[in-house]
């Protein structure tokens, strides 16, 4: 009887410890998610600045390229057998 | 007291009695704590180890029409150092390299950091700030600096993380994207879309959960589920198109810098739907740099000047009191009403011209004469017509801070009306509109008379599910009749297309646009302070308009220029041109099977030669060089071909029907 109860007690203590461990783990992962997110936004924001047309035009000016003044032409084939 | 048995017993009783009373007192106190004050202490104990934790909801993101992030919440970091934690040895060893790294990061000198951190150590400062509000990549960089990379216990690194609202586009459209900010007193400032839709969609609802302390500053949930589940905010998709916004922003910036203007704004709107594709508001700070200062397009009501001539003329045409072919006298460029003058910008007038030409030339005297003639008996009729065109109402925008339009009314006693109110209204003074209100009317003209409300939102989404789509909202089904619309559309087109038009400098052969220039005086009551508002409102292409656009620039430097066509027009043109060059011209063909007799014939003869001549020289004169090359190189013998020129073959070094040998060289001459 005493053995059984102490066995139960050990199981209880173990599970409570494992629960605690999970809390630490979630906290750590949450931090990681935040960091990843932050890194993503950081990269995204840099990309957005870089790919903006005005930025590209500025960079290409050095190479002597400028945006076209006439629109591109698209040829659409209606039927294709 | 005698030392006998009784005396000793008495003393014993006394001590025992005292101890008994003490014991009773202890028991009493115990009971009182347990039962009388028990509830209070139990609650206190609970509070120490168990607390209600608020689980913050994630704020929704703001996206552009094509899914680019415009505003989102990101973690930001503050980095501090506990100057006492490191041992003297490590401190001395790493102080210099740390200061060097910090100096490289911030630009301040290394000795500055050495001095400051030493001072912090001397002052026992355990919380010395090194960097505030930095992004992730900087955070990682600083965390790896010498000393700090030893961590919290050896190096004294303290890092704190907060969630901040970030605009990945930077300064572009910042005012319209907006934010929601709470100060210490709980007051909220909420400009732009983020502010306007914060409470309704973005914020979400925070959750609640009971948690128990378990050490290392961590808390463990007490029950399986949250007591109150947090509800994350919804994502808001705006109508803003990042590409158009980029063009608009930079085109406006360029003109503001060129003319050293105080501030300005641009709005681009889709004609059919009223979706705002781009909105830029730039103002100058004390250093002369421009940034998104206020939402001028939504907030700033100003006298429109000549751009209002469209409304005035549309009203008169609708009332059929004026026709575009009527002739008016511009009276040598000056009219006088009650001692006040209406002047033409060229100060000499244009003689007798038609109303349409007066509009295209933006002749103040011409338009004022026409309106004065038509309405001076009953000015309230003119005002009523403006009301009918929904010009007196706010647009009801979600963005906070829209100003009400002002139209003087002879029936309302508010000192706005006077003997010259009608005449001055005719060329855009005395009335007041925000750029967006003016644009909405121009858009209605472009949209064949249907006035639609400017939209900032496309839809609200929760993950991939659309919670609320935003549809076209019609303010006025028909601001004026189709005939009137057609007439004023022609006038707006002429402003740019006709040589005499005020907007002709913007004319381009490649693409069409229509619009009206405006050069309006500001602060004219004091000659010293006189300034100008240069504007251009219109739409493009001139036929079947896709977009309407307004550009308003306040206080350009007079010495450099102030006419609407010079200051604001180029911004308009740049946007129109950009949109034109970005839209491909689509040619449709029925089928790829095209038969051309000559091509077929050429191919047949080529095929025949290729089949017949395997080892003897064919006649290649008259064939294109490409074909001749293919023929000769694919023969059964290996020959080397030397080709002169690139067109049609004129001469061949080996005659027709001569047998060819391996490794023989053939020289071909082409034109």
pLDDT, tens digit, for every residue of B637-659?
888 888 888 888 888 888 888 88
- Among chain A residues, CA nearest to B68: A48
What is the CATH number for B73? Answer: 3.90.1310
Q: Which of B582, B611, B644 is the last residue of a domain?
A: B582
Q: State how far the alpha carbon of B378 is from the alpha carbons of B189, B485, B516, in Å.
A: 46, 24, 27
Q: Which of A23, A34, A81 has the CB atom closest to B161's CB atom? A: A34
B310 domain-assigned: yes
Select from A23, A38, A72 the residue whose CB has the most chain B CBs within 10 Å, as the one to mutate to test that interface. Answer: A38
- Complex ipTM value: 0.72
Which residues in chain B (20-79) have CB-CB distances under 8 A to chain A?
68-69, 72, 74-76
pLDDT, tens digit, for every residue of B345-390?
888 889 999 999 999 999 999 999 999 999 999 999 999 999 999 9
A69 domain-assigned: no
Q: Does A15 touch chain B (CB under 8 A)?
A: no
A77 domain-assigned: no
Q: Which of B183, B210, B236 is the last residue of a domain?
A: B236
Give the model's pLDDT for residue A58.
87
Residue with tokens 């095929």: B607
**Pair B197, B398: CB distance under 8 Å:** yes
A35 domain-assigned: yes
B31 domain-assigned: no
Which residues in chain B (225-264) have CB-CB distances under 8 A to chain A?
242-243, 246-247, 249-250
B341 domain-assigned: yes
Give the model's pLDDT for residue A49.
83
Q: How many domains does chain B have?
A: 3
- Among chain A residues, CA nearest to B584: A72
Residue with tokens 């889709």: B270
Give the model's pLDDT for residue B1.
52
Q: Which residues of B touch A17 (CB under 8 A)?
A: none
- Rounded CA-CA distance B476/B391 in Å is 10
Report the sign of the C-alpha dihedral through residues B434, B436, B442, B444, in that order.
negative
Q: Does A45 touch chain B (CB under 8 A)?
A: yes
Q: Which of B74, B250, B587 has the CB atom closest to A73's CB atom? A: B587
Residue B631 has pLDDT above 60, yes or no: yes
**Pair A73, B587: CB distance under 8 Å:** yes
Summarize the confidence of residues B123-147 as an average pLDDT: 86
**Pair B305, B535: CB distance under 8 Å:** yes
Give the model's pLDDT for residue B217.
66
Q: Which of B137, B172, B588 has the CB atom closest to A42's CB atom? A: B137
- Say how many CB pairs under 8 Å bridge A and B: 107
Q: State how far the alpha carbon of B252 is from the alpha carbons of B174, B495, B575, B626, in Å.
A: 15, 22, 10, 52
Residue B2 has pLDDT above 70, yes or no: no
B393 domain-assigned: yes
- Of the pLDDT bands very low, low, confident and very high (cuts 50, 70, 90), residue B425 is very high
More confident residue, B73 or B277: B277
Q: Quick one: which H or E segment has residue B251?
A: helix B242-259
B586/A74 Cβ within 8 A: yes
Q: Which residues of B touch A76 (CB under 8 A)?
A: 586-589
Q: Which of B172, B201, B236 is the last residue of a domain?
A: B236
Sheet containing strand B649-652, strands side by side: B639-644, B664-670, B649-652
Q: Which residues of chain A have pLDDT under 50?
A: none
pLDDT, tens digit, for every residue of B248-258?
999 999 999 99
Compute the nearest-CA separation of B131 from chain A (Å).
17
Summarize the confidence of residues B663-668 as an average pLDDT: 85
- Rounded CA-CA distance B443/B537 in Å is 9
Assess whether B386 and B473 both reside in one domain.
yes
A2 domain-assigned: no
The parent domain of residue B627 ranges over 597-670
Give the model's pLDDT for residue B216.
64
What is the CATH number for B498? Answer: 3.40.710.10
**Pair B302, B522: CB distance under 8 Å:** yes
- Rounded CA-CA distance B200/A7 in Å is 54
Give the model's pLDDT for residue A69.
80
- Rounded CA-CA distance B262/B288 in Å is 9
Assess whether B481 and B612 both reside in one domain.
no
Which tokens belong to B570?
Answer: 């180029």
A30 domain-assigned: yes
Q: Does A13 touch chain B (CB under 8 A)?
A: no
- Of the pLDDT bands very low, low, confident and very high (cuts 50, 70, 90), residue B325 is very high
- Among chain A residues, CA nearest to B242: A52
Quick one: what percent of chain B has pLDDT higher than 70?
Answer: 98
Assess whether B632 and B497 both reside in one domain.
no
The CA-based angle B128-B132-B133, given to 5 degrees, is: 155
Q: Which residues of A touch B216 (CB under 8 A)?
A: 24
Assess whether B563 and B619 both reside in one domain.
no
The parent domain of residue A38 ranges over 20-63
Assess whether B273 and B253 both reside in one domain.
yes
Assess whether B232 and B252 both reside in one domain.
no
Summarize the confidence of residues B18-22 as an average pLDDT: 96
Assess whether B251 and B229 both reside in one domain.
no
Compute the nearest-CA separation of B249 from chain A (Å).
10
Q: What is the DSSP letter of A31?
A: H
Q: How many domains does chain A have?
A: 1
B2 domain-assigned: no
Give the model's pLDDT for residue B224.
67
Give the model's pLDDT for residue B630.
86
With a CB cutoff of 8 Å and minimum separation 6, the contacts of B109 are B103
Alpha-helical regions (H) of B480-582:
482-497, 564-567, 569-582
Which residues share a beta bridge with B669? B644, B651
Q: Does A73 touch chain B (CB under 8 A)?
A: yes
B7 domain-assigned: no
pLDDT, tens digit, for every residue of B565-622?
899 999 999 999 988 888 888 887 777 777 788 888 888 888 888 888 888 888 888 8
For B373, half-sphere exposure in the C-beta direction (CA atoms, 13 angstrom radius) is 18
A48/B250 Cβ within 8 A: no
Q: Which of B161, B168, B582 has the CB atom closest to A71's CB atom? A: B582
**Pair B264, B366: CB distance under 8 Å:** no
Q: How high is the mean pLDDT of chain B?
A: 89
B220/A23 Cβ within 8 A: yes
Assess whether B576 and B649 both reside in one domain.
no
Q: Which of A24, A68, A75 has the CB atom closest to B587's CB atom? A: A75
A69/B581 Cβ within 8 A: yes
B35 domain-assigned: no
Which residues share a beta bridge with B77? B134, B161
What is the CATH number for B608? Answer: 3.30.10.20
Residue B428 has pLDDT above 70, yes or no: yes
A33 domain-assigned: yes
Select from A15, A18, A21, A23 the residue whose CB has the most chain B CBs within 10 Å, as the one to mutate to test that interface. Answer: A23
Neighbours of B331 (CB within 10 A): 18
Assess whether B219 and B141 both reside in one domain.
yes
A72/B68 Cβ within 8 A: no
Q: Which residues of B touch A67 (CB under 8 A)?
A: 581
- Rounded CA-CA distance B302/B405 in Å is 9
Burial class (CB in 10 A: 0-12, 13-18, 19+), B329: middle
Assess whether B141 and B111 both reside in one domain.
yes
A14 domain-assigned: no
Residue B10 has pLDDT above 70, yes or no: yes
B128 domain-assigned: yes
């Amino acid at each position: 009887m005493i053995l059984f109860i102490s066995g139960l007690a050990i199981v209880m203590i173990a599970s409570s410890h494992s629960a605690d461990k999970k809390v630490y783990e979630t906290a750590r992962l949450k931090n990681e998610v935040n960091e990843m997110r932050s890194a993503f936004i950081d990269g995204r924001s840099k990309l957005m600045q870089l790919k903006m047309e005005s930025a590209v035009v500025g960079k290409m000016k050095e190479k002597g390229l400028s945006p076209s003044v006439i629109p591109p032409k698209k040829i659409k084939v209606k039927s294709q057998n | 007291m005698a030392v006998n048995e009784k005396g000793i017993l008495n003393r014993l009783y006394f001590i025992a009695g005292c101890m008994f009373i003490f014991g009773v007192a202890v028991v009493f106190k115990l009971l009182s704590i347990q039962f009388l004050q028990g509830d209070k202490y139990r609650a206190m104990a609970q509070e120490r180890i168990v607390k209600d934790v608020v689980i913050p909801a994630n704020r929704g993101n703001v996206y552009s029409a094509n899914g680019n992030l415009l505003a989102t919440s990101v973690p930001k970091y503050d980095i501090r150092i506990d100057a006492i934690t490191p041992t003297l040895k490590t401190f001395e060893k790493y102080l210099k390299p740390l200061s060097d790294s910090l100096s490289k990061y911030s630009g301040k000198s290394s000795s500055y950091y050495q001095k400051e951190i030493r001072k912090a150590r001397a002052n026992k400062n355990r919380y010395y700030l090194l960097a505030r509000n930095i992004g992730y990549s900087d955070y990682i960089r600083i965390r790896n600096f010498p000393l700090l990379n030893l961590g919290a216990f050896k190096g004294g690194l303290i890092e704190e993380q907060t969630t901040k609202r970030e605009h990945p586009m930077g300064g572009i459209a910042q005012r319209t994207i907006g934010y929601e900010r709470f100060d210490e007193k709980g007051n909220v400032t909420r400009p732009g879309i983020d502010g306007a839709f914060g409470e309704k969609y973005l914020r979400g609802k925070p959750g609640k959960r009971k948690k128990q302390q378990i050490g290392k500053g961590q808390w463990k949930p007490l029950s399986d589920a949250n007591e109150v589940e947090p509800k994350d905010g919804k994502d808001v998709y705006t109508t803003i198109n990042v590409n158009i916004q980029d063009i608009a922003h930079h085109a406006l910036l360029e003109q503001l810098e060129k003319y050293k203007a105080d501030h300005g704004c641009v709005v681009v709107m889709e004609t059919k739907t009223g979706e705002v594709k781009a909105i830029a508001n730039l103002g100058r700070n004390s250093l002369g740099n421009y940034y998104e200062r206020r939402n001028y397009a939504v907030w700033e009501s100003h006298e429109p000047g000549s751009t209002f001539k469209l409304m005035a003329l549309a009203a008169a045409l609708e009332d059929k009191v004026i026709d575009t072919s009527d002739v008016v006298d511009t009276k040598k460029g000056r009219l006088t009403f009650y001692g006040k003058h209406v002047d033409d910008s060229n100060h000499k007038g244009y003689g007798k011209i038609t109303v349409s030409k007066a509009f295209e030339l933006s002749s103040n005297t011409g338009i004022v004469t026409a309106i004065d003639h038509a309405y001076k008996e009953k000015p309230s009729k003119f005002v009523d017509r403006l009301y009918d065109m929904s010009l007196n109402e706010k647009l009801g925008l979600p963005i906070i801070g829209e100003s009400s339009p002002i139209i003087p009314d002879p029936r309302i006693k508010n000192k706005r009306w006077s003997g010259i109110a009608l005449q001055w209204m005719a060329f855009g003074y005395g009335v007041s509109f925000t750029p967006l209100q003016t644009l909405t009317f121009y858009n209605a003209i472009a949209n064949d008379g249907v006035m639609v409300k400017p939209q900032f939102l496309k839809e609200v989404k929760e993950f991939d599910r659309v919670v609320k789509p935003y549809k076209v909202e019609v303010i006025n089904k028909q601001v004026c009749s189709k005939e009137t619309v057609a007439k004023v559309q022609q006038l707006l087109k002429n402003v740019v297309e006709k040589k005499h038009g005020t907007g002709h400098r913007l004319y381009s052969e490649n693409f069409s646009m229509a619009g009206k220039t405006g050069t309006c005086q500001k602060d004219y009551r004091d000659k010293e302070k006189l300034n100008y508002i240069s504007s251009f409102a219109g739409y493009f292409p001139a036929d079947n308009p896709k977009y309407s656009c307004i550009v308003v620039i306040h206080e350009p430097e007079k010495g450099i220029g102030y006419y609407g066509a010079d200051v604001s027009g180029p911004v308009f043109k740049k946007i129109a041109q950009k949109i034109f060059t970005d839209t491909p011209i689509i040619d449709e063909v029925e089928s790829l099977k095209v038969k051309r007799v000559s091509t077929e014939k050429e191919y047949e003869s080529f095929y025949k030669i290729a089949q017949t001549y395997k080892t003897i020289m064919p006649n290649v004169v008259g064939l294109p060089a490409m074909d001749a090359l293919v023929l000769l190189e694919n023969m059964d013998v290996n020959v080397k071909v030397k080709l002169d020129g690139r067109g049609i073959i004129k001469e061949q070094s080996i005659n027709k029907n001569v047998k060819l040998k391996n490794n023989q060289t053939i020289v071909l001459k082409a034109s």
